[in-house]
Structure 1
Amino acid sequence: MRFQRENLHRGHHGGHDARMRGHGFPGGDFGGFGWGAGGFGGGPGGGRGRGGRGGRRPNVRAALLALLTERPMHGYEMIQELEQRTGGMWRPSPGSVYPTLQLLEDEGLIASTTEGGRKSFALTEAGQAEATEAAAQAPWSAFEAAGAVNSWQDIREAAMGTMNALRQVLRTGSDDQRTRAAEVLDEARRKLYAILAEDPETR
């Protein structure tokens, strides 16, 4: 009997879940997050986030060298700095940062000192030339162009808030509430495509 009741419940809400999946949302408890497989800010490679306007992920090596022209830093501090300077659009993973730091140290371009159990990195004389060149075209500058940092961060925060609200509707909403939520998503999708259809020169 329990099996039959569970199947009946799933069938009752199946139409709503299927409709939500049509918008890119998983059905049921909505365990996933974000549109598409990667979610917001997801992606393979050098960490969470997307690239600049061209969509290419920044060069970790150049970014670390550029940061070290300012002052010595430890690895986690560099990760935080890059996330902050790109408005949360790019946060390189420890798995890409620390091996790169080790490589730079092996090449003699940076040197490390350990204090209080924390390793700090600084440029050597041999690393000054490449670091200065990297800083002249800082990898995070692509995110700052034309307000890209603020606009992406605003959209990301708004989208995450919408996802949280939608999760509650899917988990606790009535049939009518789920239907109305799907209608809201339909309308939002149409308006987003309408924005894309506008002439940028007239905005």
Structure 2
Amino acid sequence: MRAAILKLLAERPMHGYEMIQEIAERTQDLWKPSPGSVYPTLQLLVDEGLLVATESEGSKKLFELTDEGRVAVEKIETAPWDEITEGADPGQVNIRAAVGQLFGAVRQAAFAANSEQQQRIIDIVNNARREIYQILGESE
């Protein structure tokens, strides 16, 4: 977590939530850190003098590197997202991307579809789940 935060902030100041989104995007959703791991790490880095936090947009904190933080970033040879995606199975990445897109469409339908359309969508999702289990049950 520490290396990822430092590498991101070497590019530009960011809010904690932005960092979570950036890491997820750069790892093709293979790693989406939780706020419970990001925010304590940010506070630790502030305490160590590697980051400073300034208030912006209401109560959001904007984090940026100090001079000591820039020195620490230079010691990181490989960005964590490069290590994570390097050995990733393309099939797994493609499945995760497809599921993410499906989830986005279903989430939108929850708000935009009428009750009859919602039922049709539920039927499609339930059928897809059954078909996936059928595929997994096939012998190799």
TM-score by length of 1: 0.49
Query: Is residue 120 from structure 1 mapped to residue 79 from structure 2 by the alignment?
Result: no
Measure, in 1, the Cα distance between the counterparts of 2:65 and 2:89: 28
| Residue in 2 that maps onto 1:77 | 18
**What is residue 141 of structure 1 aligned with on the other side?**
82
Deviation at 1:128, TM superposition (A): 1.7
The 5 Å alignment of 1:130-169 reads 130-134=72-76, 136-145=77-86, 148=88, 150-157=90-97, 165=124, 167-168=126-127
- Aligned counterparts of 2:73 and 2:12: Cα–Cα separation in 1: 12
Paired residues, number: 118
Corresponding position: 1:99 with 2:53: no
Aligned to 1:108: 49
Deviation at 1:129, TM superposition (A): 2.1
Quick one: which amino acid aligns to residue 126 of structure 2? R
Map Cα deviations across residues 82-112 of structure 1 (whole Å, 9 max, x no partner): 0000111111001110111001001101001
Q: What letter corresponds to residue 96 of structure 2 in structure 1?
A: R
Distance 1:165 1:133, change over 3 A: farther
Contact 2:24–2:30 (CA under 8 A) maintained in structure 1: yes
- Cα distance in structure 1, aligned partners of 2:79 and 2:92: 19
Is contact 1:105-1:111 (8 Å) kept? yes
* Structure 1 CA distance for aligned equivalents of residues 68 and 98 of structure 2: 45
* Uncovered stretches (5+) of structure 2, i.e. residues with no partner: 103-122
Structure 1 pair 128–152 and aligned structure 2 pair: CA distance change class (3 A): same
**1:64 equivalent in structure 2:** 5
- Check whether the contact 2:53–2:64 (CA below 8 A) recurs between aligned residues: yes
Q: Which runs of 4+ in 1 moved over 4 A?
A: 157-161
Letter of the structure 1 residue corresponding to residue 38 of structure 2: V
Identical aligned residues as a percent:
45
Q: Give 5+ residue unaligned stretches, structure 1.
A: 1-59, 171-177, 195-203
Using the size of structure 2 for normalisation, the TM-score is 0.69
Structure showing the higher helix proportion among its residues: 2
CA distance in structure 2 between the aligned counterparts of 1:145 and 1:106, rounded to whole angstroms: 32
Name the CA distance, whole Å, in 2 between partners of 1:78 and 1:158.
23
